Amino acid sequence: MARTASLSGFPEWLPQERVVEQHVLDTLRRVFELHGFGSIETRAVETVGQLLRKGEIDKEVYGLSRLQDDDDSAAKSDPNALALHFDLTVPFARYVVENAGYLAFPFRRYQMQKVWRGERPQEGRAREFTQADIDVVGDGELPFRYDVEIVLVIAEALSALPIPEFRLRVNNRKLSEGFYRGIGLEDTAGVLRSIDKLEKIGAEKVAELLRTELGATQEQAEAALKLATIQTTDTSFVEQVRALGVEHPLLEEGLTELEQVVAAASSRAPGKVVADLSIARGLDYYTGTVVETVLVGHEQLGSICSGGRYESLASKGSKTFPGVGLSIGVTRLVSRILSQEFATASRSVPTAVLVTLNDEDSWSAAQDVAAQLRARGISTEVAAKADKFGKQIKFADRRGIPFVWFTDAEGAHQVKDIRSGEQVAADPAVWTPAEEDLRPQVIARVAAEV
């Protein structure tokens, strides 16, 4: 794990740890692109008005201002003031609206960027962190089948990472809202916000919130909590919900949609997806499928991947661009991979070969050797000084470079594997190290495909 940072909440990985982070990003990129998602990047700042259109997280947003601005308090209430984005979904919605005329719908994108959030720093919660998002957005409508696809893509992507078992916990806001209305609770957003606190404060306190803040009766609070206890790995949740005796058209619609997701996942990603009717997601813009993901045995870390369906987050006048997407907390995931040593890098530098110097006049010839190796994709450094060979080898060892190259006065070449001590004749025009030595490798210590 990286040393303690001088500024908490802004993690900086050491080179060998950065290799692991890059492996995670490269793996996600590969899987996303295999499924046809193209890459975009949005600006780091949005207007305050844009960021706070949906949800209530203004306390976590970092405002942006010049040091010499006279009236800081005015900027806080100005919807045109600038602030750093706290997620990638809201900026993406703005991006879609502004570029709709240039995009082919349904538009599939992935995005890997830094975001900023004013949280209390701890493992899994940073103030500056990287997210990796995928979304599909439609023009006016978006078939529900994309909700199913997004869940399957994320299950495949996470399965390719060096992490322990995980569970995608899936619910549907229509199911929950329809149930609440069916028992007479009309402030469904308020109920969802209370249920979203279930794991943090417990059932008794949630019931108290429902009664005191939303005016629920004891029976209504108990019914809402009974729904939240339903959790299945198959579609049997449907009958369990119906057994509660509540009826509402929106409830039926949500049941049907969630059943499709769980049925597909049971077949294509068995054991990875769970119907969990306690999942609510606090942000108001979610309208259907909602997802949170935990590492089994590491639930205290929080969700490593979350998101869902939104209908009107991206809109222009009467025109809407409904979408569905999920966001992986890359920094949160990498911090746990490193702290628990789920994976390590074989070395901290890309360099595979150090070309030594016989004397100070051999630098140019050494660069010629290095150029031949680099031309074939072999990362190579040239020693800076013509120290004794033992010292040059120690430098390579300290850097984590596995091979050292020697050229004698007659122009004969040899390469030494300093790990095994084996030294053989070699031709810079054709010699290549073993595939696993060509670049740093990420070595998994958990049962995962790497």
Rounded to an integer, the average pLDDT of 53-75 is 70
Any domain includes 443 = no
Decide if 257 contacts 148 (C-beta within 8 A). Answer: no
Angle (CA) 169-208-258 rounded to 5° is 25
Q: Report the pLDDT value the prediction gives residue 292, as an integer from 0 to 100.
A: 95
Decide if 334 contacts 20 (C-beta within 8 A). Answer: yes
> E strands of 17-75, at which residues?
38-39, 45-47, 63-64
Total of domains in the chain: 3
Of 49-53, 95-99, 400-404, which range is least confident? 49-53
Decide if 109 contacts 40 (C-beta within 8 A). Answer: yes
Give the mean pLDDT of the chain: 92
**Domain enclosing residue 400, as ranges:** 353-432
Of 89-103, 274-288, 342-356, which range is least confident? 274-288
One domain, residues 49 and 196: no
100: pLDDT strictly greater than 70: yes
Q: Name the token pair of 247.
A: 């009826």
Q: Name the token pair of 126.
A: 């940073």
What are the C-alpha distances in Å from 182 to residues 199, 220, 252? 24, 10, 11
pLDDT digits (tens, 9 = 90+) for 178-220: 999 999 999 998 998 899 888 889 999 999 999 999 999 999 9
One domain, residues 373 and 297: no
One domain, residues 120 and 225: yes
CATH number at residue 94: 3.30.930.10
CATH number at residue 404: 3.40.50.800
294: pLDDT strictly greater than 80: yes
One domain, residues 197 and 209: yes
Rounded to an integer, the average pLDDT of 230-242 is 96
> How far apart are the C-alpha atoms of 374 and 352, rounded to whole Å?
10
Any domain includes 32 = yes
Rounded to an integer, the average pLDDT of 229-241 is 96
Q: Name the token pair of 13.
A: 């990985």
> What end-to-end distance do the CA atoms of the chain give, in Å?
20
One domain, residues 260 and 195: yes
One domain, residues 211 and 223: yes
Give me the sign of the Cα torsion angle 178, 181, 185, 188: positive
Q: Report the pLDDT value the prediction gives residue 348, as an integer from 0 to 100.
A: 93
Decide if 381 contacts 370 (C-beta within 8 A). Answer: yes
The residue among 96 and 6 whose pLDDT is bigger is: 96
The residue among 192 and 414 whose pLDDT is bigger is: 414
Q: Report the pLDDT value the prediction gives residue 75, as an integer from 0 to 100.
A: 56
Any domain includes 151 = yes
Any domain includes 172 = yes
Any domain includes 296 = yes
Q: Name the token pair of 233.
A: 């790995």
Closest by Cα among 306, 281, 285, 313 to 192? 281
pTM: 0.91
The residue among 284 and 209 whose pLDDT is bigger is: 209
Q: Report the pLDDT value the prediction gives residue 73, as an integer from 0 to 100.
A: 55
Q: Report the pLDDT value the prediction gives residue 76, as an integer from 0 to 100.
A: 61
Rounded to an integer, the average pLDDT of 65-84 is 74
Q: Which of 317, 343, 369 is the last residue of a domain?
A: 343
450: pLDDT strictly greater than 50: no
Any domain includes 269 = yes
Q: How confident is the model at residue 72 (pLDDT cuts 50, 70, 90)?
A: low
Residue written as tokens 């969802």?
A: 192
447: pLDDT strictly greater than 80: no
Any domain includes 444 = no
94: pLDDT strictly greater than 90: yes
Decide if 152 contacts 233 (C-beta within 8 A). Answer: no
One domain, residues 136 and 57: no
Q: Which of 84, 106, 137 is the last residue of a domain?
A: 84
Burial bucket for residue 442 (CB in 10 Å: 0-12, 13-18, 19+): buried
One domain, residues 79 and 128: no
**DSSP classification of residue 3:** P
Q: Which of 343, 378, 406 is the last residue of a domain?
A: 343
Any domain includes 10 = no
Q: How confident is the model at residue 282 (pLDDT cuts 50, 70, 90)?
A: low
One domain, residues 267 and 416: no
One domain, residues 183 and 293: yes
449: pLDDT strictly greater than 50: no
Q: Please name the residues in contact with 184: beta carbons below 8 A apart, sequence gap of 6 or more.
A: 220
- Residue 203: left if φ>0, alpha if ψ -120 to 50, beta else—which one? alpha
Q: Report the pLDDT value the prediction gives residue 448, as an integer from 0 to 100.
A: 43
pLDDT digits (tens, 9 = 90+) for 10-61: 999 999 999 999 999 999 999 999 999 999 999 999 998 888 876 556 668 8
One domain, residues 180 and 208: yes
Q: Report the pLDDT value the prediction gives residue 303, as an integer from 0 to 100.
A: 93
One domain, residues 180 and 240: yes
* Phi and psi at residue 141, to the nearest 5°: -150, 160
The residue among 128 and 312 whose pLDDT is bigger is: 128
